[in-house]
Structure 1
Amino acid sequence: MHDDTLPAGVGVTDALPADDDPPRVLRRLVTNAESRRASRRWWDLDADAYQAEHGAFLGEVDFVWCPEGLREADARLLGELRGRRVLELGCGAAAAARWLATQGAHPVGLDLSAGMLRHATRAAATSGVRVPLVQADALALPFGAETFDIVCTAFGAIPFVADSAAVLREVFRVLRPGGTWVFSITHPIRWIFPDDPGEGGLTVRHSYFDRRPYVEQDADGVPTYVEQHRTLGDRVREIVGAGFVLRDLVEPEWPAGHDRIWGQWSPLRGRLFPGTAIFVCDKPLRGPA
């Protein structure tokens, strides 16, 4: 969500400009392949700028779930960590994976972007906390069945994949029975508002039920950035359909004294409606033979 003048979560006009050139920003369906290419290229090119803008807030060795500033050290959504095998999907610079390592876990950070993993390698050197890093697609996790005790992601992978239900099935596959899956995303209600942290972002512009993704594309109509929208009900059905049990849905409130603006997140909007949804899920234990 990059143009703050555009409707949110992110909505945009579908009308062609007068010269009939393809619109640069629109809502349209994309394939998994288009999403993968766009995300890999975007995050490779944007990695430096993203870290320059948000790296200090995220920290080198910390687990921040969302722009509201909720930390795993306080929320404890993942449960007991010591000795647990943990996969962080869409790890970016892997600050969360490094924090998990300091808690006695055995984390692995996975990301599609070589640019983001470059920052993860650099931060490992400066922090002295090193974790295994893997470049791979969340739709085809390069791990055997029941490899991990916990899988988690803070705004990684899920919003950028056309078939997010398939990602959840992959997560289910690599989790051991009784394992935990926790992921945070932009709260679906944000998609009805303009992508504006100010008063302009308080007026409904789009249907909550328009599930077409936000797409930025080049002059040839090739997607360069893709972000997906699902309703809360859609997410619950994906979770249950993959075989998980939904244990909790956390909607972090905007904390007093927190004045940071991050894209469309702001104190003004945060005090009125949620910006983040965190889903806490369990893979059931096997039943009796």
Structure 2
Amino acid sequence: MSTDHIKRSIQAGWDEMAGNYQAETHISLDDVHYAPLCPGERELRILGDVSGKAVLEVACGAAQNSIALAKMGAHCVGLDISSRQLVVARKLVEQEGVDVGLLNADGETLHMFRDGAFDVVISCFGWEFIQDLETCFRECHRVLAKDGLLIVGTVHPMSAFEWDADGRFLMVNDYFRPPYEVWQELKGDSARQGLTFFRTVEEMFATLVSAGFHVEGIWEPYPYNIEEMTDEEKRAIPYGGPFWESQYERLSKVPFSIVYKARKSD
């Protein structure tokens, strides 16, 4: 598939899935989420103080992280390729009474922003849908101010692999060449395939460094012990819901996500 075809398919897929995804997944409007059933920014402190900072959220979805950051005092802009995700985002922004700019745009190129426009660029679960990651990281580097932060939250390469029938062992046949996840997002004659790109830790680290970043930290968030939590406590988890709760045993054995904190180094 060509790059343009992949982008169109991913856009169509998220337009198709947006309603169900937002309805079935609990995503906090008060804390930045990094991983399913895991602590968010208020506990992990990956970003630190964002008060007064200009923040760009790439592949923002319904902009829950931007809304949470705005409540923490940041000046936020979110962009997403899916117009239907942004419909939900606009409703949430109005509901929460915060000021978040929203753009319907491809996250691979950030040509609409001037050099050094932002103090922070963040995305959680957006990078795996971007094919040309090096170009995207170079654009993030360009739009960041001196010493600006890039927060890359993405699917862990180990989450590319399936479990055995008993759910006891992860069947990793080739870590160095993780498979693409091919997903069907439309039905009937208009069906097209989208892709999720899994990348090894080395590939992600090397791409960040090549784009001009210094990696300051890497996190593999570990889930809360939901078996000892009340329903009210579960609802307070930044990213969760019934589906993720059903995956708890697996999430407690192998990380679903990985977070890189990188600083603009030149």
Q: Fold-level match, TM-score > 0.5?
A: yes
Partner of residue 41, structure 1: 12
| Rg (Cα) greater in structure | 1
Q: Residues 90, 117 of structure 1: CA spacing in aligned structure 2 closer, same or farther, 3 A cutoff?
A: same
Give the Å deviation of 1:264: 9.7
Q: Residues 192, 212 of structure 1: CA spacing in aligned structure 2 closer, same or farther, 3 A cutoff?
A: closer
**8 A Cα contact 1:213 1:228, kept in partner:** yes
Give the Å deviation of 1:201: 6.8
Structure 1 length normalisation: TM-score?
0.79
Q: Residues 149, 265 of structure 1: CA spacing in aligned structure 2 closer, same or farther, 3 A cutoff?
A: farther
Match of 1:226 among 192, 195, 201: 195
Q: Secondary structure at the match of 1:145?
A: coil
Instruction: Name the amino acid aligned to 2:173.
Output: H
- In the TM superposition, 1:241-256 aligns within 5 A as 241-256=210-225
Deviates most, 112-121 or 32-41? 32-41
Q: Residues 75, 265 of structure 1: CA spacing in aligned structure 2 closer, same or farther, 3 A cutoff?
A: farther
Give the Å deviation of 1:138: 1.1
**8 A Cα contact 1:87 1:151, kept in partner:** yes
Unpaired stretches in structure 2, ≥5 consecutive residues: 228-233, 235-240
Give the Å deviation of 1:273: 1.9
Instruction: Name the amino acid aligned to 1:129.
Output: V
In the alignment, the residues of structure 2 paired with residue 275 and residue 201 of structure 1 have an alpha-carbon distance, to the nearest angstrom, of 16
In the alignment, the residues of structure 1 paired with residue 58 and residue 6 of structure 2 have an alpha-carbon distance, to the nearest angstrom, of 16
In the alignment, the residues of structure 2 paired with residue 262 and residue 247 of structure 1 have an alpha-carbon distance, to the nearest angstrom, of 32
Give the Å deviation of 1:219: 7.6
Q: Secondary structure at the match of 2:176?
A: coil
Q: Secondary structure at the match of 2:89?
A: helix
Instruction: Name the amino acid aligned to 1:172.
Output: H
Q: Secondary structure at the match of 2:167?
A: helix
Residue 114, structure 1, aligned to residue 83, structure 2: yes
Q: Secondary structure at the match of 1:150?
A: strand
Residue 282, structure 1, aligned to residue 263, structure 2: yes
Q: Residues 50, 176 of structure 1: CA spacing in aligned structure 2 closer, same or farther, 3 A cutoff?
A: same
C-alpha root-mean-square deviation of aligned residues, in Å? Answer: 2.4
Q: Secondary structure at the match of 1:63?
A: coil
Match of 2:141 among 144, 151, 172: 172
**8 A Cα contact 2:76 2:99, kept in partner:** no
Partner of residue 152, structure 1: 122
Match of 1:268 among 230, 249, 258: 249
In the alignment, the residues of structure 2 paired with residue 282 and residue 265 of structure 1 have an alpha-carbon distance, to the nearest angstrom, of 36
- In the TM superposition, 1:96-111 aligns within 5 A as 96-111=65-80
Instruction: Name the amino acid aligned to 2:250.
Output: R
Partner of residue 63, structure 1: 32
Match of 1:161 among 105, 125, 130: 130
**8 A Cα contact 1:159 1:229, kept in partner:** yes
